[in-house]
């Protein structure tokens, strides 16, 4: 029944788009930021390279908002979600989805190399969608960022609160906005992709966006105080580097730690092979200032005995809100520190 409803929604959306375009044309009601007209205009545009494509997509428009919508809409209408990541192992047992390696000799960035590959194949997963969007924005003179983080979706179990998705932030007229080209371009039913522009993921209000998108770098919530998601009740946030290591367990297992000023917080991880973990190269570009936000954060280095990894922190301020655990100089876990009122007043 849900499948039929989605197909019906898709057909109705196409019909409404056509009717809106006809109305704009016949009654002279075209507005500079008429998204329906922009969506219609980009449907037949094509070009072989990101720079030539960005030029053709944005040439008719003057404002950053119009150009951003044109880029978003072109991707949504011309790139399909790569359902091969679901089907490869099922149709061909033992076969795994393998991404193309980057050309390390090329002078182009890894972001642009990914964008070029998506443009050739016209299929992508979230990383490809986001990097194609950024590359087209770069060539159009629009500032944007690729954001890594956690997104709630049916593919993830509720106890796996870790980086699993990629989206974008874009700066329009000096103000930052959030969007998700992947989720905004269509949906997957029974491992089959159906294109459908979802307006709720284009320049979404920050407080709405954070309900199902939680960035590694909390500054990209675009909120003064990032809320604590329900997942923190079950597990700390796992950074992308976490999956490199052989962590078996963590204590506390809850992502929120209650403490008073003056308390000492102890955190313990157990690894399968800490010695082997430390032979893995850490991220050479990690910069703690990129993960620092207000209220303040602390970054803890461990003491290691065998496969036992321990962290200790004396709570010396009620301004501290986030504890980041470093392992082999990589950020791997983030806890929310909830400073309680002084014991004397309770």
Say what the pLDDT of residue 294 is.
58
Mean pLDDT of 277-299: 77
pLDDT at 104 over 90: no
pLDDT per position as a tens digit, 29-61? 334 457 999 999 999 999 999 999 999 999 999
Better pLDDT: 210 or 115: 115
Residue of 27 and 197 predicted with greater confidence: 197
Please give the domain boundaries of the chain with CATH numbers for all domains. 2-221 (3.10.620), 230-345 (2.60.40)
Q: Are 203 and 144 in contact (CB under 8 A)?
A: no
> Per-residue confidence at 157, pLDDT binned at 50, 70, 90?
very low
Is the Cα dihedral 127, 130, 134, 136 positive or negative?
Answer: positive
pLDDT for res 231: 59
Residue 91 has a pLDDT of: 43
> Considering the entire predicted model, what is its pTM?
0.63
Query: What does the pLDDT read at residue 186?
Result: 86
pLDDT at position 13, please?
45
Backbone phi, then psi, for 161, in 5-degree steps? -85, 85
Least confident residue range of 92-101, 221-230, 303-312 = 92-101
pLDDT digits (tens, 9 = 90+) for 209-244: 887 788 988 899 998 877 766 655 577 888 877 878
Q: What is the pLDDT of residue 94?
A: 40
User: For residue 75, which of 167, 11, 156 has the smallest C-alpha distance?
Assistant: 167
Between 38-47, 101-110, 288-297, the lowest mean confidence (pLDDT) is in 101-110
Q: Is the pLDDT of residue 308 over 90?
A: yes
Q: Which two tokens stand for residue 193?
A: 């992709």
């Amino acid at each position: 029944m849900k499948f039929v409803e989605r197909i019906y929604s898709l057909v109705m959306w196409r019909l409404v788009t056509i009717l809106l375009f006809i109305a704009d044309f016949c009654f002279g009601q075209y507005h500079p930021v008429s998204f329906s007209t922009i969506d219609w205009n980009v449907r037949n545009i094509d070009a072989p390279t990101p720079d030539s494509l960005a030029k053709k997509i944005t040439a008719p428009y003057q404002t950053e908002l119009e150009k951003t919508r044109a880029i978003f809409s072109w991707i949504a209408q011309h790139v399909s979600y790569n359902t091969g990541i679901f089907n490869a192992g099922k149709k061909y047992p033992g076969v795994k989805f393998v991404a193309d390696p980057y050309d390390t000799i090329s002078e182009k960035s890894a972001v642009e190399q990914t964008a070029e590959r998506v443009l050739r194949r016209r299929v992508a997963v979230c990383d490809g969608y986001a990097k194609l969007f950024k590359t087209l924005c770069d060539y159009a003179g629009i500032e944007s960022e690729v954001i890594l983080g956690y997104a709630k979706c049916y593919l993830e179990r509720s106890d796996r609160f870790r980086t699993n998705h990629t989206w974008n932030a874009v700066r329009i007229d000096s103000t930052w906005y959030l969007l998700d080209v992947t989720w905004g371009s269509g949906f997957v039913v029974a491992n089959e992709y159906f294109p459908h522009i979802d307006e709720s993921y284009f320049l979404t209000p920050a407080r709405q966006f954070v309900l199902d998108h939680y960035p590694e770098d909390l500054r990209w919530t675009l909120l003064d105080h990032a809320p604590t998601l329900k997942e923190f009740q079950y597990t700390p946030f796992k950074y992308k580097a976490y999956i490199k290591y052989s962590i078996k367990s963590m204590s506390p297992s809850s992502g929120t730690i209650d403490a008073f000023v003056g308390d000492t917080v102890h955190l313990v991880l157990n690894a399968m092979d800490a010695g082997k973990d430390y032979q893995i190269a850490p991220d050479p570009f990690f910069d703690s200032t990129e993960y620092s936000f207000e209220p303040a954060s602390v970054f803890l280095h461990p003491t290691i005995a065998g496969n036992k990894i321990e962290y200790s922190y004396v709570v010396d301020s009620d301004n501290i809100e986030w504890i980041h655990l470093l392992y082999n100089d990589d950020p791997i876990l983030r806890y929310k520190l909830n400073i309680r009122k002084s014991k004397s007043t309770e």
